[in-house]
């Protein structure tokens, strides 16, 4: 299986005490980077999330978002009766000392922090953890499904572009032998024209030497052989699957380097046009490969 580094997944789970909603997003990244956005009361779950993600994802930036809604009794108000009694006693004592009216109502108490509060998540961690893990696994499963679907599309596109590159390489291979031949014909004609015009004999050995030097300078056989080898390795890598993004990126760098060398060496307009086409395809392939895990 080949995965894209871009994906999305959600997971939901409920229990008697709470409902957990998890959203996961992943984007490109050189390494694996898991980022958790959790309520502070659930920070203890971050290590669980990281461990589960790291078990199945090798590259990319993965963001995990957690939302918790307390349900049933877990969401009821909590009254600190001991604090309320202590507060009433202290206020009445203070009112007596200052000779103030000690009339107090419930409204007076609810304004004092800590006496009445909603039940917090921190008291529910033991109940939340199995629900959290269930929702996380569901979100992770969906994330992998979307990454696999996009990965398959990327592989299909790369296979099509490899075929296009091979077609351009074959065209260059057909034209390459003619480069030295055309140079020899042009050089011979110019020398004969010069001889006819000025009556000067030219050195045949020197001519052959110049032709040999030109042929060696413009020879692209090795580059074409290496390109064919790199393309074969790309096909094999795509067929093998797994975390192949870095391997593909390396092969594409090598392909681009060999193509640039051909463009610099080949003294032929036809070959130059194919080199431009090759570079365009290789650039598109590199953009696609950078999305693969």
DSSP category for residue 15: -
The confidence score (pLDDT) of residue 118 equals 47
DSSP E strand boundaries for the chain: 7-14, 18-27, 32-37, 60-70, 77-79, 116-118
Nearest-CA neighbor of 192 among 210, 204, 177? 204
Averaged pLDDT, groups of 10, the chain, 293 residues long: 94 84 94 91 88 94 89 58 81 80 70 59 67 94 96 95 92 75 61 62 61 59 88 93 92 94 78 88 93 93
Give domain limits for the chain.
77-118, 150-289
DSSP category for residue 23: E
| Phi–psi pair at 115, nearest 5 degrees | -80, -45
Q: Where are the alpha helices (DSSP H) in 98-203?
A: 106-110, 125-198
The CA distance from 211 to 185, in Å, is 10
The confidence score (pLDDT) of residue 190 equals 64
The CA distance from 254 to 235, in Å, is 15
Q: How would you label 186-220 residue by residue, b for 16+ Cβ within 10 Å and e otherwise?
A: eeeeebeeeeeeeeeeeeeeeeeeebeebeeebeb
The confidence score (pLDDT) of residue 202 equals 63
DSSP category for residue 19: E
Q: Is the pTM of this model over 0.85?
A: no
């Amino acid at each position: 299986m080949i995965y894209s580094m871009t994906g999305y997944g959600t997971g939901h789970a409920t229990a008697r005490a709470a409902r957990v909603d998890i959203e996961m997003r992943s984007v490109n990244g050189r390494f694996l980077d898991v980022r958790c956005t959790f309520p502070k009361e659930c920070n203890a779950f971050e290590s669980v999330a990281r461990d589960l993600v790291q078990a199945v994802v090798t590259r990319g930036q993965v963001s995990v978002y957690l939302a918790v809604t307390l349900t049933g009794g877990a969401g009821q108000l909590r009254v600190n009766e001991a604090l309320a009694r202590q507060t009433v006693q202290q206020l009445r004592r203070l009112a007596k000392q200052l000779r103030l009216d000690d009339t107090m109502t419930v409204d007076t108490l609810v304004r004092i922090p800590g006496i009445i509060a909603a039940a917090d998540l921190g008291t529910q961690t033991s109940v939340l953890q199995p629900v959290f893990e269930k929702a996380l696994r569901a979100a992770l499963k969906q994330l992998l499904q979307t990454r696999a679907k996009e990965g398959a599309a990327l592989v299909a596109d790369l296979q099509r572009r490899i075929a296009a590159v091979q077609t351009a390489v074959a065209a260059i291979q057909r034209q390459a032998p003619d480069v030295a031949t055309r140079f020899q014909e042009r050089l011979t004609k110019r020398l004969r024209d010069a001889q006819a015009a000025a009556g000067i004999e030219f050195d045949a050995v020197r001519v052959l030497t110049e032709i040999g030097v030109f042929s060696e300078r413009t020879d692209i056989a090795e580059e074409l052989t290496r390109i064919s080898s790199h393309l074969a390795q790309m096909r094999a890598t795509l067929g093998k699957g797994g975390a192949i993004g870095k391997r593909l990126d390396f092969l594409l760098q090598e392909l681009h380097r060999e193509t640039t060398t051909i463009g610099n060496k080949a003294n032929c307009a036809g070959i130059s046009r194919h080199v431009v086409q090759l570079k365009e395809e290789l650039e598109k392939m590199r953009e696609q490969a950078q999305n693969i895990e």
